[in-house]
Amino acid sequence: LQLAQQLGSTTSESICALAASLCYVDLCVGDTPIAVESIWFGRYLPPHNVDHYVLAVEQDVDSAAFGFLNVFEPFTSSLWAILAAMLVTFGLAFSWVERGADGDFDGMGAVDSVCTSWYLTFAGVLSGGAMHAPRTVGGRMIHLG
């Protein structure tokens, strides 16, 4: 209240918005208009089916969009580990099935076919399209998932 008075804001919505911006409260709900001095303290959401309610919430400057590695945050680390293990397994299965006669990796060594298969598997996931072109029946069945 003293800080709000020093800033010249003594209205209830300004005090509540200042408290939200300083993380003393999470949210303000009230039947008051938005004052000009309180616009700097928080973000105002539109009312929900009632015209006289205004929500003032604290500003989120440390948003999840501000980090490079935050693209992985929608999933937990255990789900990412399961997805990576599945891709490694599918890559191994492709290299094993397609190394036979008339397969996609025909004539390649074991290490070359595994590395190429893993590359194609991960590139297919990252590009959103199929990278393998299986020629054997087993490879086509694996390709269907």
Would you say 31 and 52 are in contact if contact means Cβ atoms under 8 Å apart? yes
DSSP 125: H
pLDDT for res 117: 86
pLDDT for res 76: 84
User: 78-134 pLDDT, tens per residue?
Assistant: 998 999 999 999 889 888 888 876 777 778 888 888 898 888 888 888 887 777 777
User: 17-69 pLDDT, tens per residue?
Assistant: 667 767 777 766 665 566 555 566 566 655 555 555 555 666 555 655 566 77
Q: Residue ranges of the alpha helices (H) in the chain?
A: 2-6, 12-21, 77-97, 110-127, 137-144
Distance CA 144, CA 14 (A): 59
Q: What is the pTM of this model?
A: 0.48
Distance CA 14, CA 3 (A): 11
